[in-house]
Amino acid sequence: MLILSTFEHSLEIEEALAVLEHMGIGRQRIMLVAMDNPIRWSAPRAVQTSGRTTLPFEVGMAAATALSVIGICYGFVLVWGPIIWGILTALAGFVIGFGMTRWVQNVREAAGIKMKGRIPELTLIVRCPEEQLQDVCRVLSQYHALSVGQIQERLS
């Protein structure tokens, strides 16, 4: 059987390799491949799309525009007039839009929602007999493999 698993680069992969060797799987039956990260090597783009830094500003400006229109409309009947109320509500709209967007981004980061963007850095390929299949899969999962797969070897 061939067992394939992916890991992030850490000490856990070293510990898993030591346990596999202790189980009797020799080094000649283990292959470890470091994966290239295309994002790391790509050339920087001239125009950056909306990201973590620009999105709160854009949402803040949109909220400022919307609330300033409402403030100007109500300013015709309120004491300070449409100009002052338009400026005040624009400032309030920007603060609300910017603050809420940053808050949502921080909550998502804290909850780990961006985890699906992780790219595995190492691929481990292990050739083992079927009797050891469950033990090897258990060891790989115990040492935090991102994914584990199996391939039945064909005899030719």
In degrees and rounded to multiples of 5, residue 129 shows phi and psi of -70, 160
* Claim to verify: residue 60 and residue 110 sit in the same structural domain: yes
Are 62 and 110 in a shared domain?
yes
**Average pLDDT of the chain, as a whole number:** 84
Together in a domain, 77 and 104: yes
Tens digits of per-residue pLDDT, 83-95?
999 999 999 999 9
Query: Which residue from 12, 51, 52 is spatially nearest to 32, judged by alpha carbons?
Result: 12
Residue 29 CB-density burial (10 A; 0-12 exposed, 13-18 middle, 19+ buried):
middle
Q: Which residues contact 32 (CB under 8 A, 6 or more apart)?
A: 13, 17, 122, 123, 124, 125
- pLDDT tens column, 1-13: 899 998 887 788 8
Comparison of pLDDT for 110 and 65, the residue scoring more: 65
We report the CATH number of the domain holding residue 7 as 3.30.70
More confident residue, 57 or 41: 57
User: Are 75 and 126 members of one domain?
Assistant: no
The total number of structural domains in the chain stands at 2
In a domain, 19, yes or no: yes
pLDDT for residue 134 is more than 70: yes
Q: Which helix (H) or strand (E) holds 61?
A: helix 55-75
Asked whether residue 46 carries a pLDDT value surpassing 60, the answer given is no
Residue 91 belongs to what domain range?
A: 55-114
Using the predicted structure, report yes or no on whether residue 144 has a pLDDT greater than 90: no
Residues 65 and 95 in one domain: yes
In a shared domain, residues 107 and 127 = no
Residues 6 or more apart in contact with residue 57 via CB below 8 angstroms: 98
This prediction has a pTM of: 0.49
Question: Is the residue at 48 inside a domain?
Answer: no
Residue 92 placed within a domain: yes
Which range, of 9-13, 73-77, 124-128, averages the lowest pLDDT?
A: 9-13
The answer to whether residue 42 sits within a structural domain is no
Residue 70 placed within a domain: yes
Residue 69 in domain: yes
| Residues of the chain above pLDDT 90, percent | 48
C-alpha to C-alpha distance for 80 and 84, rounded to whole angstroms = 6
